[in-house]
Amino acid sequence: MIFDIIIYVFLGIGVFFNVLAGVGLLRFPDVYTRLHAGTKCTTFGSIFIIGSVILIGFKNWWSGDLNGSVLVIHSAFALIAILLTNPVSAHAIARAAHKSGVMPAQAVIDELQDKPTEKSTRKKTSSKTAFSKKEGEQ
């Protein structure tokens, strides 16, 4: 009985944060702030939803059903996959947005604009290494 209550509380917390992520997507002004809502809230909500699934699996396993172990382990792997891929994909989207010229709205400061472009640094390093090799040969 107490077990069921814990499961329902976990589900409630998870759904609340996932709904909040949706509201954040609608309310925030630009790509970067929307990514804030889209990564953090969905990860946290998913942790609790998957946590409740894991608890259900343990309950079945305890009562002698072997399929409970499948539920526990597979949902734990799903949780690990979400924890790994969610920040990485957010980073990829943010980087692509900044490279294609989307500036952060209402920004106080933007130090990324001062970053030397990748092409110029690559050329510099390659020419330096080539130069030092030549020197070494001589």
Partner 1 sequence: MLAFIITTLLCFVIYLLFTTGSGTEVLGLWSWIEIAFGALLSIVVGIAARKIFVKDSFRMLNPVRWFTFLVYMIGPFFIALTKANLDVAYRVITGKIKPGIVKISPGLKTDFGITLLANSITLTPGTLSVDIDENTNDLYIHWINVDEKALEKKPVDCKYICGNFPKWVRRIAE
> What is the binding site for partner 1 (CB under 8 A)?
17, 20, 23-24, 27-30, 32-33, 35-37, 39-41, 43-44, 66-67, 69-70, 73-74, 77, 83-84, 86-88, 90-91, 94-95, 98, 104-112, 115, 121, 125
Smallest gap, in angstroms, from Cβ of residue 87 to partner 1?
4
Angle formed at CA 46 by CA 41 and CA 50, multiple of 5 degrees = 160
Smallest gap, in angstroms, from Cβ of residue 111 to partner 1?
5
For partner 1, the closer of residues 1 and 64 by Cβ is 64
Smallest gap, in angstroms, from Cβ of residue 137 to partner 1?
25
The alpha carbon dihedral of 21, 26, 31, 96 has a sign of positive
Please report, for residues 4, 8, 69, 83, the alpha-carbon distance to residue 63 in angstroms, rounded to integers and kept in the order given: 14, 20, 11, 30
Helix (H, G, I), strand (E, B), or coil: what is residue 96? Answer: helix
Smallest gap, in angstroms, from Cβ of residue 55 to partner 1?
17
For partner 1, the closer of residues 7 and 93 by Cβ is 93
Distance, in Å, from the CA atom of 134 to the CA atom of 128, rounded to the nearest integer, reads: 10
Biggest distance spanned by C-alpha atoms of the chain: 82
For partner 1, the closer of residues 5 and 66 by Cβ is 66
For partner 1, the closer of residues 36 and 59 by Cβ is 36
The structure tokens listed for 17 are: 């944060």
